[in-house]
Structures are given as C-alpha cells and as structure tokens.
Structure 1
C-alpha cells in the first residue's frame, strides 16, 4: 500500500472471514451475508483529522449507519453507533464493528480501516435486512432488502464526504450527525465497577474520546484504547 500512487484507492473485500481481527486481539468470525472490507486511505499529519486520528473510527461507524439511513425511505431503520467503534440495532444488539490501524510515514498517515456488519444473516443475532423486514411489518411499508456490495460502496462514499467535512470544519462539522445516531444520549453509567461513582455521558471531546460527567468532579475524558463500554452492565470499565 505504501507504493500506491496517491490518486489510487485500495479496498479489499471478503465474502466471509475465518481469521478476522477484532479489538484487543479478538478473533472476528464472519459468515456469508456480511459486508466485510478493509479500506486504505491516507491522511496528512498536519490536517484537522491528522491531528485527531481517533476520530476516524467514529467517522467510519457513522458512515456505515448513514449508508442505510440516508437512503430515501430507510431513514427510520433503527441502526445506530456505539462508542467507540460498534454498529448496533437500537441499544440492544451488535451488528458490526470497525477496527482502524495507522502507520505514520514522514508526514502522512496510512490508515487501514477494517469494517464488517451483518447485512443478510439472521444468525447469531440479527442483521440489517431483519430490521428492514421488521420495519415493513410494523409500518406497512414495502422497503426492499439491501445487499452487502451496495452498502460497502455507500459506506465508502459517505466516508469520503465525512472526511472532507471534518478536514474543512473539524469535529463540530460531523458531531451533530454522529450524535443523531449514537446510543448514549442521556445515559447514566457507573465508573470502574457496579458500585462505582455515578456519571453521565456528555459527548465526545475534540480528540474523539468519550466525555463523562461525574458528580462533584466535572467532566473527564475516557480513552477508547484503554477502556471498554459495557452496554450490558452499563459500566465504563478499564480494559485489562
């Protein structure tokens, strides 16, 4: 990838994965019916996004959600983002995720963006086309099922636009769109353990880290590489 001409893009697409990588060395197994790809992009170090590289995973997660929810008629499909890098059905089930790795060569970041999300496989949890079927039954609509190749293409297109907006306007150019779809608005959490201090999720800071407000202590930032957010226990916990 380091030898590619600047004007040439690179993306690898898989129909299924048996040795995919997740966060923290986790193995990511993906059957047929998932949208699976790794995208290579370059970001100048001395740019808005180059100075805030953790934001890339948020932009990709947002691009996946908007790849569906910006299609006319599909705006209310309940696909959402979970900090820092997951795609969710409401706040109930995980549909996919994002893993970003970067290499800095002189003044250019070479970014490999791995993203995968379940489009058409009802196991082991739920898929995007299940959400569409559910929506059709509840609302009396007749929305068509979507395909993995269509959504990969749409995701990359939306991501390009989000990067352009971020480079021009910084975090404030994209955060309103991100908050529109994230699952954490107004959520109360415990810090560190189930008896830990109460805190409220505030938003994302200028570096892409989660901000929480602890009673009596003000707002603190939680780094995505050292912490995980446990939706089931409603905790923000250190990741060992």
Structure 2
C-alpha cells in the first residue's frame, strides 16, 4: 500500500507506516525478518532530488538511517553511553556483540526524483531471543548506579525520524564530511582487521567509508579499495568480508 501511495502524494508530504508486530517482513537478499511485539517497526517514504548531494550518493541513506536509530537513544541526556552502535552497511548492534536491528532501503528513480522506501526495525523491549535496548539500559543502570527510564518503541520511532531529517539536511548541505565524524563515533569497525572473500583470503584493515558510502579496506601489501554493500556481506563472527 505505501509503495503505491508514495507516487500519489505531494513531494512535500511525509508518509510512514508503523507496525506493532511484523509477520512477513523481509531483510536483505529476501531473507525473512521476524519482529515480535516490543520492536520499533516502521516503513518511511522520503523524496530525494537526483541532482543533490544525497541524490548522487543514494547508498549513504542506509548509513544515515542506522545512525539515526543509534542517535534516537544516545542523544538523550543520560543515555549517551548506552552501547548501541552501527555496523556497516545497515545493522544496529549492541557493542560489537549482538544484532539488535536493521535497515532496508529500496529506491525508485522517477524523472529527477528518487522515491525512497526505508524499512527499519530494532528491538526495544523484548529480551528474547537475544537482547533489547531496554536490557542495555537496565545493565547500564546496574553498573553505573543510575536510574534511566526504559524507552518505548513509539518514542524511538519518532526520535529516529527526527534525527534522520536532520542528518539528511546536513548531508545535503555539507556532503559526506558533514555526517561521517558522527557515524565513525558510533560504528564498530575502527581499525578492525578482516579477511577478504574467504577465511584464507588476504588480510585487510577497515579504514572508513568512501564518498559513495562503500566500505574502504586497506589490503595488506596493497592499496585501499572500496567494497560495495549490495554485493558483499560482513560476517562479524569470522571477521570476513565475503561476496553474497
């Protein structure tokens, strides 16, 4: 439904669908995405002019959304040190240990406007099957002697959309350099050592994200190269960058 409506509404009008529970969600590569009650789940439509900073770098949108999710929590007073982070290209993590959510972006170019459908989901208040944001808050309270309140999915969806609007404005004005310092502050890859293509592949170090949003790796004894997010997958358990 939202995919049809986005072409019928005025460009200046926003469109978002919020779900309490998702039973037929899709992840990258058509993978199933199961989302029980307690998750923040939304699909958002935005329009991006083709001839703009972001319109020329559409892969950056997934990074901006991931950053917006993290900022929805960590920009709250007192919550700055909650260990919520971004994993390239489109995952939300607890530290570098466990996935809490993800982002999926689909784009359609119509004349000179990109119509972007952004799906995001992250676990706010369900401790099963792994961990949720409110578990991280409770853990922080216990360790630091604080009394931070649990957060609700509705609150964090609203804060994510607000943060995303601001990040898009900054990107359109300043380009990648306007947002990358904040992105690097929260990502889990600084100085990370990986293997390329397979477990015995060449050793490389992650050095950043290029101007198109692709991951940059410095191969041992070689040059810095960029890795396309749609053709590669990051296996955190084995520290592998492998073709999908």
- Aligned match of 1:81 in 48, 61, 86? 86
Q: Secondary structure at the match of 2:82?
A: coil
- Aligned match of 2:162 in 151, 157, 169? 157
Aligned twin of 2:3: none
1:194 Cα offset (Å): 1.1
Aligned twin of 1:33: 38
- 2:28 and 2:195 map into 1 onto residues whose CA distance is 23
Map Cα deviations across residues 11-53 of structure 1 (whole Å, 9 max, x no partner): 0000000000100010101000000000000000000000000
- 1:159 and 1:191 map into 2 onto residues whose CA distance is 32
- 1:177 and 1:31 map into 2 onto residues whose CA distance is 30
1:5 Cα offset (Å): 1.3
Map Cα deviations across residues 138-177 of structure 1 (whole Å, 9 max, x no partner): 0000000000000000000000000000000000000000
| Structure 1: gaps of 5 or more residues | none
Map Cα deviations across residues 198-225 of structure 1 (whole Å, 9 max, x no partner): 1000000000000000012110000000
- Aligned match of 2:9 in 4, 7, 22? 4
Give the ranges of 4+ consecutive aligned residues of structure 1 lying more than 2 Å apart after TM superposition.
Answer: none
Q: Secondary structure at the match of 1:161?
A: helix
- Aligned match of 1:97 in 97, 102, 107? 102
Map Cα deviations across residues 91-132 of structure 1 (whole Å, 9 max, x no partner): 000000000000000000000000000000001110000000
> TM-score, length-normalised on structure 1?
0.99
| Structure 2: gaps of 5 or more residues | 1-5
1:34-49 matches, within 5 Å, as: 34-49=39-54
> TM-score, length-normalised on structure 2?
0.97
Map Cα deviations across residues 70-96 of structure 1 (whole Å, 9 max, x no partner): 000000000000000000000000000
Aligned alpha-carbon RMSD (Å) = 0.4
Are 1:206 and 2:211 matched, yes or no? Answer: yes
Aligned twin of 2:236: 231
- 2:116 and 2:95 map into 1 onto residues whose CA distance is 29
1:166-185 matches, within 5 Å, as: 166-185=171-190
Q: Secondary structure at the match of 1:59?
A: helix
State how many pairs are aligned: 239
1:6 Cα offset (Å): 2.0
